[in-house]
Structure 1
Amino acid sequence: MKVYLIGFMGAGKSTVSRLLSSKTGEPYSDLDSRIEEKAGKKISTIFQEDGEASFREIEVSTLKAAEATIISTGGGILYFDETGQWMRQNGIVIYLHAPFKELYARIKGDQTRPVAAKPYKELEALFNKRNTAYKEVAHHVVSVSNRTPESTVKEIISIIQNS
């Protein structure tokens, strides 16, 4: 059974997926890293040269081709409505949630995140839109607010064992 980690930028999807992999022995895949490997360029460059829609198409094809058990998705994975339903049908979808202010503090000034360069209010509106979509798609919502990755992974392992 696959485990898809979704959530806004800065939620810790990559960190949690690596730790979850080390605790369970299951392989993981970080979609953003896989996309950069396949494209031979940074995501920010893909956004600049090809646009967001093109990047999102690459992201979905990379998601569907992923062979790992634990998959860390990008924050905008739900750009296409059908992607969320596909993940729900093919595994357990876990939304790593934290309040926007906490996530913003983690991502502000991060030049590796093209979307993070947007103004605060614009990012907050994007968070609110995505938050609704994440909650609709997720089988489980796990709070990552003021919490260690180890504690988050422990809860996710419990969810997996009870599914």
Structure 2
Amino acid sequence: MNNIVLIGFMGVGKGSVAREIVRQSGMVAIDTDDIIESMENRKIKKIFEEEGEPYFRKIEARVAKWLRESVNDTLISTGGGFYKVPKLQKIGKIVLLDAPFETIYQRIIDHPNAQKKLKKRPLFQDVNKAEALYNEREPHYRAVADIVIDVSGKDYATIAKEILKKTAKHSE
């Protein structure tokens, strides 16, 4: 598969970076959380509330299987826990967007729609729990990543350019 798969902690900027990569490269992009919401006809937050995280992770695994079997030459942005899906590396080149927890949290609370951003992230409702989750996930993100991009202090255009260069997907 010739895909680029963006992974990283919730709020690190995967969706915004994906939109910038599309702008610079013309690649087609999809978002695993958007696919899941379409499949389930409800928001991620609702799925977590009504069915729980294990149910959500099963849906992620189904989406990952579909991506492995059916998707090529696509930019794929993922939810924060997508790194756990089976055979992740078979989907494409795994790019970790990395930043310290404090940077991610600051980016979220400084956003003009901060309340909305926090509200749609069920695992970010308690900042201390979110930070513990970040600390738990960080080494696993690094273990599955082919490329690690430090996004601290960089704008989306710079991050996108770096990803395109490192994945040899130069803009046309």
Q: Taking structure 2 as the reference length, what is the TM-score of the superposition?
A: 0.85
2:60 and 2:89 map into 1 onto residues whose CA distance is: 17
- CA shift digits 1:43-69 (9 cap, x unpaired): 000001111010011112113323261
Alignment match of 2:164 (pick from 150, 157, 162): 157
The total of aligned residue pairs comes to: 157
Q: Percent identity?
A: 37
Question: Which residue of structure 2 aligns with residue 114 of structure 1?
Answer: 122
Question: Which residue of structure 1 aligns with residue 77 of structure 2?
Answer: 72
Question: Which residue of structure 2 aligns with residue 99 of structure 1?
Answer: 100
Contact 2:60–2:82, Cα closer than 8 Å, also in 1 = yes
1:38 and 1:20 map into 2 onto residues whose CA distance is: 25
1:113 and 1:121 map into 2 onto residues whose CA distance is: 14
2:163 and 2:90 map into 1 onto residues whose CA distance is: 19
Unmatched 5+ stretches in structure 2: 110-114
Contact 2:8–2:97, Cα closer than 8 Å, also in 1 = yes
> Post-superposition shift, 1:79?
3.9
Structure 1 segments, 4+ long, off by >6 Å, are none
Contact 1:16–1:153, Cα closer than 8 Å, also in 2 = yes
Contact 1:9–1:107, Cα closer than 8 Å, also in 2 = no
Unmatched 5+ stretches in structure 1: none
Question: Secondary structure at 2:138's aligned position in 1?
Answer: helix
Question: Secondary structure at 1:161's aligned position in 2?
Answer: coil
> Post-superposition shift, 1:136?
0.3
When the two chains are superposed, the root-mean-square deviation of aligned CA atoms in Å is 1.6
- CA shift digits 1:32-87 (9 cap, x unpaired): 1111111110100000111101001111211332326110010011345xx3xx22
1:124 and 1:157 map into 2 onto residues whose CA distance is: 30
Question: Which residue of structure 1 aligns with residue 138 of structure 2?
Answer: 131
- Letter of the structure 1 residue corresponding to residue 124 of structure 2: A
Question: Secondary structure at 2:76's aligned position in 1?
Answer: strand
1:43 aligned onto 2:40: no
- Letter of the structure 2 residue corresponding to residue 114 of structure 1: P
Question: Secondary structure at 1:28's aligned position in 2?
Answer: strand
2:55 and 2:108 map into 1 onto residues whose CA distance is: 23
1:151 and 1:128 map into 2 onto residues whose CA distance is: 26
- Letter of the structure 1 residue corresponding to residue 49 of structure 2: Q
Contact 2:5–2:91, Cα closer than 8 Å, also in 1 = no
Question: Secondary structure at 1:41's aligned position in 2?
Answer: coil
